[in-house]
Chains A and B, each alone.
Chain A
Amino acid sequence: GAVVSQHPSWVICKSGTSVKIECRSLDFQATTMFWYRQFPKQSLMLMATSNEGSKATYEQGVEKDKFLINHASLTLSTLTVTSAHPEDSSFYICSAQGQGGNEQYFGPGTRLTVT
């Protein structure tokens, strides 16, 4: 149980375009989802916290207009990188948390390359 998927697993896009990444909890309802970014050989940096049906809470320094997060249902959150630039190239990882629990279940990550 507690499986989280991400789609796509990797994506290459051109500079200036937008890319949408999906995060799904497959066998449980996720009241809260988290989005992280990880640059090569670095740690996971929390970008934002998203609760179903409400606006996402962004960490300091993360541009909310650039990284649009939608958590429209208890099993799906999306991250849209708008007007992507090469410096946005990174590994984006989501995690999902069920109601009443502390543990986060991580997705397999999405590798974004912006050319």
Chain B
Amino acid sequence: GESVGLHLPTLSVQEGDNSIINCAYSNSASDYFIWYKQESGKGPQFIIDIRSNMDKRQGQRVTVLLNKTVKHLSLQIAATQPGDSAVYFCAENISGNFNKFYFGSGTKLNVKP
């Protein structure tokens, strides 16, 4: 499969602070990316996506940035809350590749109250 990795395995932040989770991908042909949140013992939950023709996309309290030059993605969470504590994965997809997604290694986010 493709190689998608993360710079930081764990991230601890104080409640109310902003969080930034990073992801590097290796396949320059990847053109669609999704960030997922996974709570313990559960399946991944969609957070936000971005296509390669964009470099930024905003959702509610979350922003995804894409830098295709260095093959890097980030997820920014504003005003982090205890309920944001989970493992976050980025996943990459190449259009036409049977819509298969390959996941990065994950970052565990700990939000301290």
Binding site for B on A (CB under 8 A): 4, 6, 32, 34, 36, 42-46, 49, 57, 59-60, 91, 93, 95, 97, 102-109, 111
Selected from B41, B45, B102, B104, the residue in CB contact (under 8 A) with A46 is: B102
Q: Across the interface, which residues of A come within 8 angstroms of B100, CB to CB? A: 34, 46, 49
Q: Across the interface, which residues of B come within 8 angstroms of A104, CB to CB? A: 99, 101
The CA-CA distance from A70 to B49 in the complex, in Å, is 29
Q: Across the interface, which residues of B come within 8 angstroms of A49, CB to CB? A: 98, 100
Interface residues of B in 52-104 (CB under 8 A from A): 89, 93, 98-104
Q: Across the interface, which residues of A come within 8 angstroms of B106, CB to CB? A: 42-43
Q: Give the interface SS of chain A, mostly helix, strand, loop or mixed.
A: strand
Contact assessment for B99 and A45 in the assembled complex, using a CB-CB cutoff below 8 Å: no
Selected from A46, A95, A105, A109, the residue in CB contact (under 8 A) with B42 is: A109
29 contacts between A and B (CB under 8 A): A32-B99, A34-B100, A34-B101, A42-B105, A43-B103, A43-B105, A43-B106, A44-B44, A44-B103, A46-B1, A46-B100, A46-B102, A49-B100, A59-B1, A93-B43, A97-B99, A102-B32, A102-B93, A102-B99, A103-B46, A103-B49, A104-B99, A106-B36, A106-B43, A106-B44, A106-B45, A108-B43, A109-B42, A111-B41
Contact assessment for A57 and B89 in the assembled complex, using a CB-CB cutoff below 8 Å: no
Contact assessment for A107 and B102 in the assembled complex, using a CB-CB cutoff below 8 Å: no
Contact assessment for A60 and B89 in the assembled complex, using a CB-CB cutoff below 8 Å: no
Binding site for A on B (CB under 8 A): 1, 32, 34, 36, 41-46, 49, 89, 93, 98-106
Measured CB to CB, the closest approach of chain A to B112, in angstroms, equals 20
Contact assessment for A43 and B41 in the assembled complex, using a CB-CB cutoff below 8 Å: no
The CA-CA distance from A33 to B76 in the complex, in Å, is 30
Q: Across the interface, which residues of B come within 8 angstroms of A4, CB to CB? A: 43
> What is the chain A residue whose CB lies nearest that of B89?
A43
Q: Across the interface, which residues of B come within 8 angstroms of A45, CB to CB? A: 1, 103
> What is the chain B residue whose CB lies nearest that of A91?
B41
> What is the chain A residue whose CB lies nearest that of B43?
A106
Contact assessment for B43 and A109 in the assembled complex, using a CB-CB cutoff below 8 Å: yes
Measured CB to CB, the closest approach of chain B to A109, in angstroms, equals 5
